[in-house]
Amino acid sequence: MDYKEYSRLRAIASKRLKRAAAAGYSVETHVPTVKEVRASKNPADYMKAVKKFLNDNDSKLAVVRKSGGSYAQIEVQPSRPKKPLTDAQRARRREQNRRSKAKRAVERTATSEADAKKRAGYLKALETVSEKWKEAGIDIGNWLGVLSPKKAQAFADYMEYRFSQGDYKNRYTIDTFIRDFGELVKRNYNFDDIKGDFDNFLDKQKQLSKNRRRTNQYGITEDEVDSAWRKFVKGDS
């Protein structure tokens, strides 16, 4: 610990505080003396605190003057040791990081701001469904495992693909879509496989279908598309 340097910085800080007080601002702070710092258990913490105060003080004082308020109290105190995280806190932090990475991954593949919001919405819906299933004693990990950034992109692509196949308004539709995706993942499908194989499967179903009323872009009704998904997910030919 360089007490000579601390004394120099303390003098600068004290002068700065005096100038603020002379300008009519309320200054309520105490910069510890060298004697007080020497008597402390962690002298280095005071050096860090004074340096931070000096680096931040100009901008803080400028804001105070502009607003016409009183000078904010700044305390120079030693830092307290951080408590170690519990297992539950570490798990929550890992989950938060995973979700943030997944969200950034799907937003990077978006074509517009609206598209990014929609794709992120699919992940939010997945989280909501996950919580609901958890309350019912169902572990969504049994379907999806860990949703890595790459898998998150695949999931968003898959959801976009499913919703493009009909005008779905049933509130439970997304639960079904998620279950289907999880079952296909368990069979080692990736999104390109899912889309390509289902397109081929759907072509066969369309050939078998005789109902050509209320057709959409797939030449098949919404109910028939859903029926085809049921067969495809189950692995029926």
Whether residues 93 and 60 fall in one domain? no
Whether residues 113 and 221 fall in one domain? yes
**Residue 43 to residue 185: CA distance in whole angstroms:** 56
Whether residues 58 and 148 fall in one domain? no
- Listed range (12-21, 33-42, 70-79, 158-167) with the worst mean pLDDT: 70-79
Q: Per-residue confidence at 63, pLDDT binned at 50, 70, 90?
A: very low
pLDDT reading at 120 higher than 50: yes
Residue 72, in any domain of the structure:
no
| Global pTM exceeds 0.75 | no
Condensed to tens digits (0 to 9), the pLDDT of residues 24-42 reads 666 666 788 888 888 887 8
Report pLDDT for 7: 92
Q: Extract the tokens encoding 71.
A: 């000078």
Q: What string of DSSP letters covers 192-235? A: HHHHHHHHHHHHHHHHH----TT--TTSS-HHHHHHHHHHHHHT
Q: What is the 3-state secondary structure (H, E, C) of 106-151?
A: HHHCCCCHHHHHHHHHHHHHHHHHHHHHHHCCCCCHHHHCCCCHHH
Report pLDDT for 74: 46
Residue 80, in any domain of the structure:
no
Q: Which domain holds residue 119?
A: 87-234
Whether residues 100 and 192 fall in one domain? yes
pLDDT reading at 141 higher than 80: no
Cα–chain center distance at 174: 21
Whether residues 114 and 194 fall in one domain? yes
Whether residues 108 and 168 fall in one domain? yes
The more confident residue out of 53 and 69 is 53
Q: Name the domain count of the chain.
A: 2
Whether residues 42 and 94 fall in one domain? no
Instruction: Kindly tell me the burial class for residue 177, based on how many C-beta atoms sit within 10 Å of its own C-beta (0-12, 13-18, 19 or more).
Output: buried
Whether residues 221 and 128 fall in one domain? yes
Whether residues 212 and 156 fall in one domain? yes
Residue 73, in any domain of the structure:
no
Condensed to tens digits (0 to 9), the pLDDT of residues 170-205 reads 666 888 888 888 888 888 887 778 888 888 888 877
Whether residues 61 and 117 fall in one domain? no
- Tell me what the pLDDT averaged over the chain comes to: 77
Whether residues 52 and 96 fall in one domain? no
The more confident residue out of 152 and 67 is 152
